[in-house]
Amino acid sequence: MPLRKWLACALALSVTAAAAQLTPDDPDWKELDAPPPPAFDLGRLVPFEVNIGSQLKFGVDPATIQIGSDGIVRYVIVAQSATGVVNAMYEGLRCSTGEVRTFARYNASSGWSPLEKAGWRSLWATQPSKHSLMFAKQGGCNGNSAPRSVAQIVRDLKNQDFEKLR
């Protein structure tokens, strides 16, 4: 095959592949009911970078990560201040649409508080989803799909090159 035809075919295939990634959402998709927030352990947290030099340290407890058959990655993310104050969020990532949803919030004095009417919001919106976006980038999502396994998410989180994320 002449080079010109080969290049034309390659370009056509790449455009087709790109278009396939931008297809509209599955109209038959149904979100499963989120289970109650799982217990988390500060001793098991796998840290990840959100803001370089921030006073808050973020981590996720691997025991709380679930990849649902609906494609949603559910997890507990913990924010800990330098003074020891702990806040946590039970969230879900919908990697296919780049969205996050907070199901419940936790603080040490009152425990879990469900957020009944919280909807899906873009990961790319400004605050308060920066921690969710960084979790998605560092392992919570595999491009626009859910990772194959919880073990893969944990491996990706532990093997970050933080310089690439800046």
5-36 pLDDT, tens digit per residue, is: 433 444 343 333 333 343 456 777 888 888 89
| Res. 162: pLDDT tops 70 | no
pLDDT at 126: 62
Reduced 3-state DSSP string for the chain: CCHHHHHHHHHHHHHHHHHHHCCCCCCCCCCCCCCCCCCCCHHHCEEECCCCCCCCEEEECHHHCEECCCCEEEEEEEEECCCCCEEEEEEEEECCCCEEEEEEEEECCCEEEECCCCCCEECCCCCCCHHHHHHHHHHHCECCECCCCHHHHHHHHHCCCHHHHC
Percent of the chain with pLDDT over 70: 79
pLDDT at 19: 36
- Write down all domains in the chain, each with its CATH number in brackets: 33-158 (2.40.128)
